[in-house]
A and B are shown apart, each in its own frame.
Chain A
Amino acid sequence: MVPISWYLALSITFFIIGIVGVVIRRNVIVVFLSVELILNAVNINLIAFSYYLSSITGQIFTIFIITVAAAEAALGLALVIVVYHNKGTINVDEISLMRW
């Protein structure tokens, strides 16, 4: 059996890759994809814990995370298209995301 720490290590790796991606990339779509990586890290965690703790809650939680991710994808891509039509770019520092 694969030890639980392996799953945790994998999920931490995805989580950090996702965070780094959100912070360093300029293209909004790639930022969005990086957030999906973070959500997958969460899902791995939840399902691994669900199995090792013998509690179904983690799997239920994952269903809802996937549902919400789908809803947010619809919203986010509609928003990206609106911004692109008005502004002609989807790079985040041109739309001043990191300004204080």
Chain B
Amino acid sequence: MVKLIFIILAGIGVIAALMVVSLKNVVHSAFCLIITLFCVGCIFVLLHAEFLAATQILIYVGAIMVLVIFALMLIDSRETANDRRFHHQSQWVIIVGVILALEIVIFIIPKSKFIVNPEKMIAQTAEAGGNTQLLARYLFTDYLFAFEFASLIILVAVVAAVFLGKRLSPTGKRE
């Protein structure tokens, strides 16, 4: 049953991903990416990562993609829609990509052995009282530094966006 759900989600996700890179209209690509991101979020649920599934939907679909669509509104994408979509000789890139993917999926993945031991995780989650609690416990102890440092990254992104977005008057001086 779980396998069937996985196959359906993966199938929809891959088809939508292919449409992202091949569709002509940028807005359609963005919407296809939303479908892919949604499927990936559902796959996170299959992997017992409920908090990240929620984060995926909230931040990726809710924030990042809205930002992209907003940016597409500000620039005139109709003008670019009539142009050539691809670089020259991109068919070679596609062929190489397909070969690489097949090679890895058929030859490398079956040969690699990974440790499979999910029982401990299930026990830990039950002990902590849920996936979110377990994540929080580690995020605010072992990974505290990374958490605090991420705030600096967001700060610099805010400074960057404000600086770049600020309108300049024709003389180059600040308004």
30 pairs of residues in contact across A and B, judged by CB atoms under 8 Å: A2-B2, A6-B6, A8-B109, A12-B104, A12-B105, A14-B13, A18-B17, A20-B97, A23-B87, A24-B94, A26-B83, A27-B26, A29-B29, A29-B71, A37-B33, A48-B47, A60-B135, A60-B143, A60-B146, A63-B52, A67-B154, A69-B59, A74-B157, A75-B157, A75-B160, A78-B164, A80-B71, A90-B75, A91-B80, A91-B83
User: In the complex, what distance in Å separates the CA atom of A13 from the CA atom of B12?
Assistant: 13
Question: A98's contact among B86, B87, B150, by CB below 8 Å, is which?
Answer: B87
Whether A10 is near chain B, meaning CB under 8 Å from some CB there, is yes
User: In the complex, what distance in Å separates the CA atom of A91 from the CA atom of B84?
Assistant: 10
The answer on a CB contact under 8 Å between B36 and A74 is: no
The answer on a CB contact under 8 Å between B86 and A59 is: no
User: Considering the complex of A and B, which 8 residue pairs feature the smallest CB-CB distances, nearest first?
Assistant: A21-B21, A24-B90, A71-B157, A54-B120, A54-B121, A77-B71, A78-B164, A20-B97
The answer on a CB contact under 8 Å between A78 and B160 is: yes
Given contacts A43-B40, A91-B80, contact A69 B93 (CB under 8 A): no
Question: A37's contact among B36, B98, B116, by CB below 8 Å, is which?
Answer: B36
**Which residues of A have CB within 8 Å of B77?**
29
**Which residues of A have CB within 8 Å of B80?**
27, 89-91
**Which residues of A have CB within 8 Å of B47?**
7, 47-48, 50-51
Chain B binding site: helix, strand, loop or mixed by DSSP? helix
**Which partner residue on chain B sits nearest A24 by CB separation?**
B90
The answer on a CB contact under 8 Å between B115 and A52 is: yes
> For the side of the interface on B, what is the size category?
35 or more
Given contacts A5-B109, A73-B64, A98-B87, contact A37 B157 (CB under 8 A): no
Given contacts A16-B100, A80-B75, contact A50 B49 (CB under 8 A): yes
Given contacts A12-B104, A56-B134, A81-B75, contact A37 B64 (CB under 8 A): no
**Which partner residue on chain A sits nearest B17 by CB separation?**
A17
The answer on a CB contact under 8 Å between B87 and A24 is: yes
**Which residues of B have CB within 8 Å of A33?**
20, 29-30, 33, 68
The answer on a CB contact under 8 Å between A78 and B17 is: no
Given contacts A54-B124, A63-B55, A75-B160, contact A20 B21 (CB under 8 A): yes
Question: A75's contact among B18, B105, B115, B161, by CB below 8 Å, is which?
Answer: B161
